[in-house]
Structure 1
Amino acid sequence: MPTPDIGQRIDLFEAYVARHPQLRLRVSCPSQEFSDLEMAQGVGRWFSCVRGLWESLDVGSQPDLALLMFQAPAVPRSVERYVLGLVPPVGPGDGDRSLRHALLSVDDDSDRHLSEKLLEHPDLLLRVRALVTRARERGQEVEPLSCYQASDRMDELADRLGLDCRETPTRTLDLGSKAGSRQLFRVAGLAHAPGTYTAAFGLPELARELADLTRSHGPGRWLLKINEGYGSGHGLAVVTVTEPTHATALAALRRLSPLTENISRAQFLAGLSANGAIIEQYLGTPPAGEKRSPSALLFIGPGPDGEPGVQLLGTHDQVLGEDLQYLGCRFPASAAYRDAVIAMSLTVAGHLARAGVRGHVGVDFLARRDSDGRWDLRAVELNLRQTGTTHPHRTVRALVPGTWHDDGRLTHRGTEVHYTGTDGLISPAYRGLSPAHVIRALDGRPDLAFDPIRARGVVPHFWTALEPFGKLGATVLGDSPDDCALLQYRFVELLDDLAARATGGRERQHAGTPSP
């Protein structure tokens, strides 16, 4: 149910917005809308809506913004104060940011999507809809519903609130499926791995396609990718085919091995049957070479002339595990292939814009360097939503008033800014640590805390997963990749020290408790 003070927060927020007609209103529901099996992967994944607090930073960097954001479970007030205080005051009209910022929390930590939880509270949604209506009647700008990704459920939520969605219309989501991505790469003329272009829903059909591909490209390893409903590299399986026959391919498919350890063969096949799958050649690391996973983040929105405009936000080198699972990112992508990543991404984004796609777009690539030093770049897939790189990137855009260059770099006061992002600072020892405890410790470490003058330091996130799961994320800003790595290492040392002290304190308290 909604937290007890939610009505008062709405009243105070609306009263302030009504007194300041220059403010524009944004409502945010950062619900990840993946399949339930996808959401079950990773630690504390169902709490991932808390990553949406990057938008709270916008309240600091954009003095004309009033933000109302839904969360479940509740975000501690200590975190809200910390986030709102990260951006220095931008002028005398900045005022009290907490009055332009309302976190509307539902007291529900169940394993369900935030959107599902909100739709169970029609009175809350009606109240927010009334707030939106009155803002429009006053002539204030009301932005579309900000969300992590579009879905039928998100469309229903937006309709209940009287809003459109900021991310791409659901009718365009097929363009971001695995099959849709490959079709668009082919149309746009982007280099990509051999494979299929339409989703197949059964092993016999996939076996025929796999046999044909083996006949054309030779024996080897192939990836099966579930067409939709999965992210972060979880809907993948690998098969090895030695002969270009239907029987050999079918036997290989029946032995397929999901790359994600927590997804069984039976679960993968169920996902395949429900959502279809495509086949793509597995491109390994060349002998005496290397393989990387760069990506580009873009935003498609209205341009100055009212037509859709494409904005390149940034490029990253993604950090992937051996199972191709997304672990984090480094900004910017390597200069060795960054220009090609930008050019290919802008090309495909232009096609997407003409097809009606809007909002955040991620374009993933595979870069392989041969022993002769030359890089080969292939487009891999599209994500028509916010991605793993969106949170750290939007965090840095809000925190650093620097210059974003066309070549994908960021400079601040003449110095190039680098950053890394991760959701993976996880340890059982961190369970029980409170966000307030970490914030106090970080405030006492000027060598680690974010310094807006130097554009350097650690900005934690994923706060609600800390106490129950021992999980925290961080965006780390530095003046070089090595500087970022050093800051992250020292932040983990700080967390380890806090956990050791907390454990020692609990043990001492337990030791001093009289026996019953």
Structure 2
Amino acid sequence: MLGVALAPMHNVDDADGFQQLQAQLSTYWLAADLFDRQPRDIVIIPSLSLDQQELMKVKGINHYEERLLFALIRLRNPNTRLIYITSTPLDSTIVEYYLKLLPDVPFSDARSRLILLSTHDASARSLTQKVLERPRLLDRIRQQLRPDGTAYMTCFNSTQWEKDLAMALGIPLLGLDPDLLHWGTKCGSRQIFAEADVPHPDGCDEVRNADDLATQAAELWERQPQLQRMVVKLNEGFSGQGNALLYLQSLQTVAPGTASHATRVEAIGRQLHHLSFQSDTESWQHYSRRIPELGAIVEAFVEGKEKRSPSVQGRITPEGKVEILSTHDQILGGPDGQIFLGCSFPADEAYRLALQDYGLAVGEALAKKGALERFSVDFLAVEQADGSWDLQAIEINLRKGGTTHPFMTLKLLTGGSYDMETGLFLNQRGEPKYYMATDNLQDDRYKGLLPEDLMHIIVQRQLHFSPSREIGSVFHLIGCLSEFGKLGVLSVGDSPEHASEMYNQVKEALNEETENHVRYRFHPASKQSH
């Protein structure tokens, strides 16, 4: 799946050694998301160790290592040191922006406890792989760790590379054992939903070729002849990038009851060549080549006039306890509305507590498999005639995601907590806080804005987050702005409407600041004849 330039460092003692490291987590698990005064050395590896071909479909993906910069807020603990590693060096303006969010902590003190390291390698490969290829960099990381057993490593997602890196550093990994990654695939998710008795769309197990995919689609149609369309998903796809729609309207001559099973399979096989993809650059020729590599499933498309995409986030402690962290209504886009763009917190009151219940059930099933740390479950919610909402689970993410950094940013900035009774986030005074967040505030007019320009606009328009009032906006993916005109925003308010207002103020300010911006382009002088 990833280009390999270094063989993973396995030996017969790896499994036992890794488990011994992981056992250390139980001694300071509670400190992972709470403020404390104990010494902590946290190695942050914001590597997106996912399929690189799928990642390259995301604009500005080379800057997504900035999404874990919310962790710099942990420097509020005066005894915490962070070692943050990236593929290429971070812009100093971006680092200063995050450190100055810290209330009651002098900038110089926080900066002295932040160690920034880089591989100076912008190639389209996993950051973790790049680190493992550089023994001198590994030595520098080890030298920064205090020898008192309080260090741990955290990352965006866990693969064998992250496991190898934790072993090489001799510290535990606050993340999933990659041996359990199957339970975060599309097929594995469906198995967990079935075990946990969580409602989910009808579909199939994983297939590895187009012929089997056509057969499974035909059998699904025969079970549900009322279907209008199906969703084809790459088993290891993410953020909707590997999803495609199979429309059935043009196949009515072979619908169940009008043709044989073999004829139906043959017709669907031809129709697969005309899938509706999320990306304009995707084709069946390329997509079909990914099926043997990543696997695929087909599911019934959930229809509905009023349809939403909520999610629930949780974590599993080393003791196997499941905790619900948050619920969100996701903001989706793309040609068929299957690409994650952002979220609002909390999810609608009509179904947020049901999301919690389903999240607990899924978490408990995952805990029995040995899963650890972050997980989330995406749903489709369809309004029924009586005003109720039908929830259908779609997939499990066994990693951090687009809803992780906004919630953790709010939590770390306010010191508040999630209330299971109401599904609200309460600050230390017991007041609820709401937010809107996105990774995709994008406009070509924003291209050319440097981090310094954004800081100027934030100050001039008073858009910044106020620690005293706990409202305003926090920005991320700032490195994407100049090249891609793309920015991440978390807008916090005292009500859903207030959070939306904060977000709209950011959009209006950026639009007004850039609408009359003159772009100078280089025009080479005409060649002179001699």
* TM bracket, shorter-chain basis: 0.7 to 0.9
Task: State the Cα deviation string for residues 174-229 of structure 1 (Å, max 9, x = none).
Answer: 01111111011111111111111x2111222222222222222114211111111x
Q: In structure 2, what is the equivalent of residue 298 of structure 1?
A: 314
Q: In structure 2, what is the equivalent of residue 104 of structure 1?
A: 117
Q: In structure 1, what is the equivalent of residue 136 of structure 2?
A: 123
Deviation of residue 500 (structure 1)? 4.6
Q: Relative to structure 1, is the Cα distance of residues 368 and 164 closer, same or farther in structure 2, using a 3 angstrom cutoff? A: same
Q: How does 1:469-488 map to 2 (within 5 A)?
A: 469-488=484-503
SS of the residue 1:96 aligns to: helix
| Structure 1 residue corresponding to 2:408, chosen from 394, 397, 403 | 394
2-structure distance, mates of 1:490, 1:217: 47
Q: In structure 1, what is the equivalent of residue 332 of structure 2?
A: 320
Deviation of residue 432 (structure 1)? 2.1
Q: In structure 1, what is the equivalent of residue 425 of structure 2?
A: 410
Q: How does 1:225-244 map to 2 (within 5 A)?
A: 225-228=233-236, 230-241=237-248, 242=252, 243-244=255-256
Structure 1 stretches (4+) deviating beyond 4 angstroms? Answer: none
| Root mean square deviation, CA, Å | 2.3
Q: In structure 2, what is the equivalent of residue 266 of structure 1?
A: 285
Kept in 2, the 8 Å contact 1:223–1:239? The answer is yes
Q: Relative to structure 1, is the Cα distance of residues 151 and 129 closer, same or farther in structure 2, using a 3 angstrom cutoff? A: same
Kept in 1, the 8 Å contact 2:86–2:119? The answer is yes
SS of the residue 2:47 aligns to: coil
Deviation of residue 140 (structure 1)? 4.7
Amino acid at match of 2:150: E
Q: In structure 1, what is the equivalent of residue 102 of structure 2?
A: 87
1-structure distance, mates of 2:262, 2:472: 56
Q: How does 1:7-18 map to 2 (within 5 A)?
A: none
Task: State the Cα deviation string for residues 280-327 of structure 1 (Å, max 9, x = none).
Answer: 1101114xxx1111101111123xxxx222221100001112331101
User: Unaligned 5+ residue runs, structure 2?
Assistant: 1-36
Amino acid at match of 2:40: R
Kept in 1, the 8 Å contact 2:437–2:489? The answer is yes
Amino acid at match of 2:484: F
Q: In structure 2, what is the equivalent of residue 18 of structure 1?
A: none
Task: State the Cα deviation string for residues 79-115 of structure 1 (Å, max 9, x = none).
Answer: 211101212116x9x9811111122133333333322
Task: State the Cα deviation string for residues 332-355 of structure 1 (Å, max 9, x = none).
Answer: 000100111000100110111121
Kept in 1, the 8 Å contact 2:151–2:172? The answer is no
Task: State the Cα deviation string for residues 390-429 of structure 1 (Å, max 9, x = none).
Answer: 1111111111223421132012334321111101122222
Length-normalised TM-score, structure 1: 0.86
Q: In structure 2, what is the equivalent of residue 141 of structure 1?
A: 150
Length-normalised TM-score, structure 2: 0.84
Deviation of residue 267 (structure 1)? 2.0
| Structure 2 residue corresponding to 1:329, chosen from 319, 343, 350 | 343
Structure 1 window deviating more from structure 2 (243-252 vs 388-397): it is: 243-252
Q: Percent identity?
A: 34
Q: Relative to structure 1, is the Cα distance of residues 55 and 246 closer, same or farther in structure 2, using a 3 angstrom cutoff? A: farther
2-structure distance, mates of 1:182, 1:319: 23
Q: In structure 2, what is the equivalent of residue 364 of structure 1?
A: 378
2-structure distance, mates of 1:95, 1:107: 25
SS of the residue 2:468 aligns to: coil
Kept in 1, the 8 Å contact 2:418–2:426? The answer is yes
Q: How does 1:349-498 map to 2 (within 5 A)?
A: 349-406=363-420, 407-412=422-427, 413-446=429-462, 448-498=463-513
Kept in 2, the 8 Å contact 1:258–1:264? The answer is no
Kept in 2, the 8 Å contact 1:47–1:72? The answer is no
Q: In structure 2, what is the equivalent of residue 7 of structure 1?
A: none
Deviation of residue 258 (structure 1)? 4.1
